[in-house]
């Protein structure tokens, strides 16, 4: 509602005046008490409404209304309260009564018109606004409200007349002209819209944006030569007018002069004083048109130009980085996101993108450094703690990993899947610390969430076999994994090693040979395990051959050299 502060003053004064006006000569004590009660209830109701306690305001104002239903302010205030509760029909009745009781108060009429508009009773709302305007020439501005109602009612010619009346009273106004132009465009009267644009230019001939708007309308009217003249005129007034260069480039492109078009686009992108929003809009257009690697590279180059022209605008870096990601240029994309984070470190999505790219590039030290920085800005984001813990776990910083995972766990309790992943990695970290009871508890907690998590089942069973504990449980879990992954060398090795610890060397050999046959790039650890099994089966020369082979492949136990030198199994 317009003029709200003034409205409150008027209402307050009107209430006092009305209270005195309604006071009869020779007022009795009972009448005086009733009048004071009415005034008190009205003030209390308004107080509750200001506090947004609308139910209490409603109840209080209805008590006032019972005392005297013919006070305009009470009806109006109760209607306002009902509007807050979206009870339009009741509010309309009460506001209508307030307007009837005090027709000279335009604010009552305005509220009623607003209610009618919400009820889509546009003709009634229009009649009220017309009466308000008729009452006083100072109310000419309400012609804008009248025009808005006509637009909602799709009476566009009437809306234009209303805007013309306002313009005659108040003069040429940019917003008003733009509203008229939208209507003319909707009615396909482009020449009329062009005439309105000329009004703004006549009023302010040095404002280059008005000239650009005229050029845009001329282009819509398929008058490119005149549009070009206007754009060149605008650029003489303001060489930094980015939208003018973009439109001029489009005119050159349509005429087949791609060299001139590229020149205008280049000047726009490289100008540090140009509007970055317009550049972004142009970039989106280029992205839509990019059909091959060459044109996509051109888009990336343009984005780089925006970054160079606007080195302190985070949007430039983010858009550039996004394009590099799509082009699978991950290192460059990550670096662009990092620069964005330096401009504005409080962007959650940017840190998420940085960590995602660090991980995909397998740059674990960067994950640790960047997750630490992310957590300085977002200490309550569990995903950043999770990334930090995962990186520390890979680096075998087991205590730091545990600390990070425990923080992540507190902050992501509503995500069941993430909780399962955290428990799984806590199991690995606790195992690294030698806290086997906590490790087992963590694995079991993870498996309760996702019983068929092959990675957890594999790690859990393997660590149990190394400790030679709960071997039946270890065998059961490892068997589940290879049943689902019969050719996975790592999982076959785990199952074989559990069998080895259980002294089932024959079956251990079978599964290790399967692992070696399944993977040409099998690890040295698996080959060493195969040698150990052969040794236990009495094939010592073959065992030494496998140990030597494992030694040449890397990823061996600390005892590999002694095994080879002595020809003996050392555990």
Helix (H, G, I), strand (E, B) or coil at 324: helix
Question: What is the pTM (predicted TM-score) of this model?
Answer: 0.74
pLDDT in tens, 220-256: 999 999 999 999 999 999 999 999 999 999 999 999 9
Asked whether residue 554 is assigned to any structural domain, the reply reads no
Measured CA to CA, the distance from residue 220 to residue 412 in angstroms comes to 53
Q: What is the pLDDT of residue 213?
A: 96
Q: What is the pLDDT of residue 25?
A: 54
Query: Residue 21's pLDDT band (boundaries 50, 70, 90)?
Result: very low
Q: What is the pLDDT of residue 26?
A: 63
pLDDT in tens, 47-61: 988 899 989 999 999
Nearest to 463 by CA among 448, 444, 482: 444
Q: What is the pLDDT of residue 5?
A: 40
The answer on pLDDT for 35 being more than 90 is no
pLDDT in tens, 354-406: 999 999 999 999 999 999 999 999 999 999 999 999 999 999 999 999 999 99
**Average pLDDT of the residues in 413-421:** 92
Q: What is the CA radius of gyration of the chain?
A: 39
Asked whether residue 255 is assigned to any structural domain, the reply reads no
**Average pLDDT of the residues in 23-51:** 80
Which range of residues forms the domain containing residue 38?
A: 1-119
Asked whether residue 160 is assigned to any structural domain, the reply reads no
Q: What is the pLDDT of residue 6?
A: 39
Q: What is the pLDDT of residue 198?
A: 95
Q: How many CB atoms lie within 10 A of CB 221?
A: 14
pLDDT in tens, 447-473: 999 999 999 999 999 999 999 999 999
> DSSP readout, 478-499?
HHHHHHH-TT-HHHHHHHHHHH
- Higher-pLDDT residue of 285, 371: 371
Taking all residues of the chain, what is their mean pLDDT, rounded to a whole number? 91
Q: What is the pLDDT of residue 303?
A: 95
Query: Residue 38's pLDDT band (boundaries 50, 70, 90)?
Result: confident
Q: How many CA atoms lie within 13 A of 439 on its CB side?
A: 22
Residues in the chain: 571
Of all residues in the chain, what percent carry a pLDDT higher than 90? 82
Asked whether residue 15 is assigned to any structural domain, the reply reads yes
pLDDT in tens, 461-504: 999 999 999 999 999 999 999 999 999 999 999 999 999 999 99
Nearest to 500 by CA among 437, 457, 561, 543: 543
Terminal-to-terminal C-alpha distance of the chain = 85
State the virtual CA torsion across 565, 569, 570, 571 in degrees, nearest 10.
Answer: 150
Q: What is the pLDDT of residue 31?
A: 72
**Average pLDDT of the residues in 268-288:** 92
Joined tokens for residue 425: 């990695």
Asked whether residue 3 is assigned to any structural domain, the reply reads yes
Q: Which residues contact 130 (CB under 8 A, 6 or more apart)?
A: 146
The answer on pLDDT for 555 being more than 80 is no
Q: What is the DSSP letter of 520?
A: T
Q: Write the CATH number for 2.
A: 1.25.40.10
Asked whether residue 82 is assigned to any structural domain, the reply reads yes
Measured CA to CA, the distance from residue 321 to residue 253 in angstroms comes to 28
Measured CA to CA, the distance from residue 71 to residue 92 in angstroms comes to 16
Q: What is the pLDDT of residue 448?
A: 96
Output the 3-class SS for 49-90. HHCCCHHHHHHHHHHHHHHCCCCHHHHHHHHHHHHHCCCHHH
Helix (H, G, I), strand (E, B) or coil at 464: helix
**Average pLDDT of the residues in 301-326:** 95
- Higher-pLDDT residue of 210, 557: 210
Identify the residue whose tokens are 């504005």.
344
Asked whether residue 411 is assigned to any structural domain, the reply reads no
Q: What is the pLDDT of residue 554?
A: 80
Asked whether residue 362 is assigned to any structural domain, the reply reads no
Q: What is the pLDDT of residue 82?
A: 93
pLDDT in tens, 161-217: 999 999 999 999 999 999 999 999 999 999 999 999 999 999 999 999 999 999 999
Joined tokens for residue 199: 């009004």
The answer on pLDDT for 13 being more than 70 is no
The answer on pLDDT for 95 being more than 60 is yes
**Domains: count for the chain:** 1
Show the DSSP H helices in 378-453 as ranges. 382-394, 398-411, 416-433, 436-449
Q: Which contacts qualify for 218-227: CB closer than 8 Å, 24 or more apart?
A: 218/194, 219/247, 219/250, 219/251, 220/185, 220/190, 221/190, 221/191, 221/194, 224/251, 224/254, 224/255, 227/251
């Amino acid at each position: 509602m317009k003029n709200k502060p003034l409205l409150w003053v008027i209402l307050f004064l009107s209430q006092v005046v009305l209270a005195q006006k309604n006071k009869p000569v020779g007022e009795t004590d009972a009448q005086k008490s009733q009048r004071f009660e009415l005034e008190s209830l009205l003030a209390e109701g308004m107080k509750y409404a200001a506090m947004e306690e609308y139910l209490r305001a409603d109840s209080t104002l209805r008590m006032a209304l019972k005392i005297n239903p013919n006070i305009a302010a009470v009806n109006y205030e109760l209607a306002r309260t009902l509007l807050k509760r979206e009870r339009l029909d009741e509010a309309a009745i009460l506001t209508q009564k307030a307007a009837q009781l005090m027709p000279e108060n335009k604010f009552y009429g305005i509220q009623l018109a607003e209610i009618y508009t919400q009820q889509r009773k546009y003709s009634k709302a229009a009649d009220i606004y017309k009466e308000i305007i008729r009452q006083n020439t100072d109310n000419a501005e309400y012609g804008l409200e009248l025009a808005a109602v006509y637009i909602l009612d799709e009476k566009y010619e009437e809306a234009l007349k209303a805007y013309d009346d306002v313009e005659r009273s108040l003069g040429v106004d940019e917003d008003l002209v733009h509203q008229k132009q939208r209507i003319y465009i909707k009615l396909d009267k482009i020449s009329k819209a062009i005439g309105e644009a000329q009004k703004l230019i006549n009023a302010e001939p040095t404002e280059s944006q008005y000239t650009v708007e005229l050029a845009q309308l001329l282009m819509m009217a398929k008058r490119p030569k005149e549009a070009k003249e206007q754009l060149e005129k605008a650029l003489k007034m303001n060489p930094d007018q980015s939208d003018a260069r973009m439109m001029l480039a489009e005119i050159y492109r349509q005429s087949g002069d791609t060299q001139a078009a590229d020149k205008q686009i280049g000047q726009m992108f490289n100008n540090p004083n140009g509007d970055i929003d317009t550049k972004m809009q142009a970039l989106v257009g280029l992205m839509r048109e990019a059909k091959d690697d060459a044109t996509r590279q051109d888009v990336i180059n343009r984005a780089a130009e925006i970054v160079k022209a606007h080195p302190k605008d985070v949007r430039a870096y983010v858009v550039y980085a996004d394009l590099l990601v799509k082009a699978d240029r991950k290192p460059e994309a990550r670096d662009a996101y990092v620069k964005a984070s330096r401009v504005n470190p409080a962007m959650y999505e940017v840190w998420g993108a940085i960590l995602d790219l660090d991980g995909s590039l397998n740059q674990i030290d960067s994950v640790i450094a960047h997750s630490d920085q992310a957590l300085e800005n977002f200490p309550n984001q569990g995903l950043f703690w999770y990334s930090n813990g995962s990186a520390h776990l890979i680096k075998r910083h087991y205590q730091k990993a545990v600390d990070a995972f425990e923080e992540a766990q507190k902050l992501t309790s509503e995500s069941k899947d993430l909780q399962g992943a955290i428990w799984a990695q806590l199991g690995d970290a606790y195992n690294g610390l030698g806290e086997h009871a906590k490790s087992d508890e963590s694995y079991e907690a993870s498996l309760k969430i996702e019983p068929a998590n092959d990675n957890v089942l594999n790690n859990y069973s393997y660590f149990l076999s190394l400790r030679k504990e709960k071997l039946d449980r270890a065998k059961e879990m490892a068997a589940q994994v290879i049943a689902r992954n019969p050719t996975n060398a790592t999982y076959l090795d785990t199952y074989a090693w559990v069998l080895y610890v259980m002294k089932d060397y024959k079956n251990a050999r079978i599964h290790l040979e399967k692992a070696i046959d399944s993977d040409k790039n099998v690890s040295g650890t698996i080959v060493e395990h195969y040698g150990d099994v052969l040794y236990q089966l009495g094939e010592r020369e073959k065992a030494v051959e496998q140990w030597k082979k494992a030694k040449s492949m890397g990823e061996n136990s600390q005892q590999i050299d002694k095994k080879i030198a002595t020809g003996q199994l050392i555990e």
